[in-house]
Every structure is written in structure tokens, then in C-alpha cells.
With several copies, the nearest count.
Chain A
Amino acid sequence: MKLLYFAWLKTKTGVSEETVSPPAEVQTVADLLTWLKRRGPGFEEALADMEALRVAVNQEYAEMTDPVTAGDEVALFPPVTGG
């Protein structure tokens, strides 16, 4: 699974892109975030406020209950501020 981090998600985690192999119990977006939080204080802080977080699975906005699978590209970022 490919993970992408943007804006302050990238700054706080210190990662812009990585490939991970979450355990089998990671079935949904929510599962993935819970698993990621355990990876260290940077991740815990970055993912602390779920409200301030947007997730895209394969470049589509996703809900917490949406499924994630091994081949997916999952991106984590704050609400957008372009335009």
C-alpha cells in the first residue's frame, strides 16, 4: 500500500511518501489511521485530530468506513486551501 502525506501531515510525520504493509486487521480507512498512529509520536500528533484530516483512496475522497486494500494509494492531508 502506497501512502502519501501532504501539507502539515507531511511536516509533522516527516514523510512525504512511503510503501507499507499493514496487518490483515486493517480493513478500513479508520483501521489504517489507528494503525498509523502507533508508529511514533510524529504520527500520533499528526493524526490526533481526525476532524482536521482528509483521506483519499486511489485519488478519490474517502470516508472513515471505506475499505483499503494492499494495492491502494492512500493520501492523508488537511482540508484544501487552493484557489
Chain B
Amino acid sequence: MIRVQREDFDLGAELRALSDGDHGIGGVASFVGLVRDMAAGEKIGAMTLEHYPGMTEKMLGRIEAEALERWPLNASLIIHRYGRLEPGDQIVLVATASPHREAALESCHFLIDWLKTKAPFWKLEDTPDGGQWVDARDSDDEAAARWSKRAD
């Protein structure tokens, strides 16, 4: 399941719902991204996440479908927020449930790595010098590329 929303989410409730009632699930892996108050050594106050409505849902849905094809998953969830966020706020949740530990852990890692390079979101950070669009990081491309190689 994918959700793109302005509102915060209840992490515990979301994770519980993912495995609730399915006793074939042996493990739930999750990653939550939070707004940091330090970016590249500079203090930030808050940020605004812009996205491309329509394409965002399309890309997240495709990334999730890819994970469901590669790993034996009973359930998966991607929630990504947009709009104004303060340090400490939750930005993104990726969670996967599988009979097997490795499948849950790997697919969760895959989902967030791919999301970071494919999902059309852009961060505008408030800095003492005004709003700054965050630059993409090469390390994110490299992290995502790992999963392409493994598929060979």
C-alpha cells in the first residue's frame, strides 16, 4: 500500500496494521526517515517537501510492485509526507512483512534506496540564508545502483 499525505502518521498503528491477523508473517522490517536539524553542517529550522502529484503515486506504486515481485512479501507499506516539516518530524515510512527475516530486511532497504532516487520529491530547507533547495547526493544513486546489479 502507498500513501502520499500532508498529515503525520502513527508509526506503531501502521506497523501493527501491517501484520495484524496474518500469522504467516515472521518478521516486519521498517525504516522511518526524520527531519534532521543539521544538513551539511548547517543548522536548519524546518523544510518544505514539494512533490509531483500523480507521478509520485505512480512511481511509489511501481517501486512497491518491484519489491513484491523480487521478495516473498505478505504486506508492504510506503507513506511519504509533503508540505512543511520541522526537525524531528517523520518524513517517510517504508515497511515490509514476510515469513522470512532476510526478505523483510532486504526489501525494506531496497524500497527506501529506490524511493530516494525515483520518487519525485524535493526538499527546500530553511537556512539562516533563506530557502535552499537540497542537492541530490551521489551516494543515493550508488545505493540504488546496488540493487540493479544484484538483479543481474
Q: Which residues of A contact B (CB under 8 A)?
A: 4, 6-8, 11, 56, 59-61, 75, 77-83
Contact = CB atoms under 8 A, between A and B. Distances in A.
Interface of B: 33, 49-52, 54-55, 58, 80, 91-92, 101, 112, 115-124, 133-137
Given A83-B91, A83-B92, A6 B136 contact: no
A4 to B, nearest CB: 7
Given A81-B121, A81-B136, A7 B50 contact: yes
Contacts of A11: 133
Nearest to A61: B118
Nearest to A11: B133
B55 A56 contact: yes
B119 A82 contact: yes
B49, B116, B120, B123 interface centre (most CB from chain A within 10 Å): B120
A79 B55 CA distance: 14
A5 to B, nearest CB: 10
Contacts of B135: 79, 81
Given A75-B120, A80-B117, A80-B136, 9 more contacts: A6-B122, A56-B55, A80-B116, A80-B119, A80-B122, A81-B134, A82-B91, A82-B115, A82-B120
Given A7-B124, A11-B133, A56-B120, A82 B52 contact: no
A6 to B, nearest CB: 6
15 contacts: A56-B120, A59-B52, A59-B55, A60-B58, A77-B122, A78-B133, A80-B117, A80-B121, A81-B122, A81-B123, A81-B133, A81-B137, A82-B116, A82-B122, A83-B112
A75 B117 contact: no
Contacts of B124: 7
Nearest to B62: A60
Contacts of B91: 82-83
B78 to A, nearest CB: 10
Contacts of B136: 78-81
A76 to B, nearest CB: 11
